[in-house]
Amino acid sequence: MEPLIPETIAKRVQSVLAKIRSAEEQSGRPAGTVRLVAATKTVTVEDIAEGVRAGLSILGENRVQEALPKIAAFSQVPVHWHFLGQLQRRKVRSVIGRFDLIHSVDTLELAQEIDRRAGEAGCRQDVLLEVNIGGEPTKAGFHPDDVVRAVPMMAQLSHTCIKGLMTIPPLTADSDSARPYFRKLHDLAGQIAALEVPTVRMDELSMGMSNDYAVAIEEGATLVRVGTAIFGVRHV
């Protein structure tokens, strides 16, 4: 019998990818509509490399300092990097052009700074707006009402492409209790899409982590961010 939690990173990658496929199937969504972002904070280059050999193609990092040497280590490997962590304005210059997608734009000012720096670099930066869907006082992200008000002000951004929304829901006892939060993010994306701001698309929903990505997929996730279920419990 297969052990409940596979023993190697390679096997866990296969198991997560299989679970994504089956959640797609169960919710009647075409295969390949959900992409796996492996959350690699604190994970060594060697362990990440094992995951990449097993099929990971998108790697998500939280801190600029930690990410840059890893990106350099994989410069000859066709992988994509996403930025997941809270981004300080003074670090924006270091992330432009290095990450295909920034998941964590949590203020209008940060969006404006990204736009300015992307303009200087002569590129267009794809981003998601992070929403504090549970309205938790200590958590980053736009309040759900504020994001709807902020989006029209992002129409002027000419070097930024807003692709969708991201959220980290409140901690819940089980994955099913997270479902209303995922549904709420999905509804919010519909509300924002209806504003028809030309530079703002709502194609991507980044939601779901190790404990709840199957439920998030059922509620419309297009990107799931999974760390522990692939690399094991973080000790740092």
Ligand X SMILES: *Cc1c(COP(=O)(O)O)cnc(C)c1O
Residue 226 as a binder of ligand X (CB under 6 A): the answer is yes
Tokens of 157: 């951004």
Min. distance of Cβ 1 from ligand X in angstroms? 25
How far apart are the C-alpha atoms of 187 and 193, rounded to whole Å? 10
Give the containing element (helix H, strand E) for 83: strand 80-83
What tokens does 6 get?
């596979």
Stretch in the footprint of ligand X (CB under 6 A) among 18-26, 109-117, 146-154, 226-234? 226-234
Q: What is the 3-state secondary structure (H, E, C) of 160-217?
A: EEEEEEEECCCCCCCHHHHHHHHHHHHHHHHHHHCCCCCCEEEEEEECCCCCCHHHHH
**Based on CB atoms, which residue is closest to ligand X, 199 or 211?**
211
Letters for 23-42 (x = contact with ligand X by CB under 6 A, - = none) are ----------------x-x-
Please name every residue paired with 69 in a beta bridge, in sequence order, or none if there are none.
none
In the complex, the smallest distance separating the C-beta of residue 209 from ligand X, rounded to whole angstroms, is 4
Q: Please enumerate in sequence order all residues whose Cβ is within 8 A of that of 203, keeping only pairs 6 or more positions apart, or say none.
A: 163, 164, 222
Which of the stretches 8-16, 51-59, 145-153, 222-230 binds ligand X when contact is defined by CB under 6 A? Answer: 222-230
Cα end-to-end distance, the chain, whole Å = 32
In the bound state with ligand X, the residue whose beta carbon lies nearer, of 39 and 215, is 39
Among 209, 214, 215, 217, binds ligand X (CB under 6 A): 209
**Contact track, ligand X, 49-68, x by CB under 6 A:** -------------x------
> CB-wise, 117 or 213, nearer to ligand X?
213
Q: Computed from CA positions of residues 165, 170, 173, 177, in that sequence, does the dihedral angle turn out positive or negative?
A: negative
**Among residues 141 and 144, whose Cβ is nearest to ligand X?**
141
| For ligand X, the closer CB: 172 or 210 | 210
Nearer CB in complex with ligand X: 144/227: 227
Which of 189, 183, 188, 184 lies closest to 204, judged by CA?
189
Site residues (CB under 6 A) for ligand X, limited to 74-113: 84
Beta bridge partners of 57: none
Where do contacts with ligand X occur on this chain (CB under 6 A)? Answer: 39, 41, 62, 84, 168, 209-210, 225-229
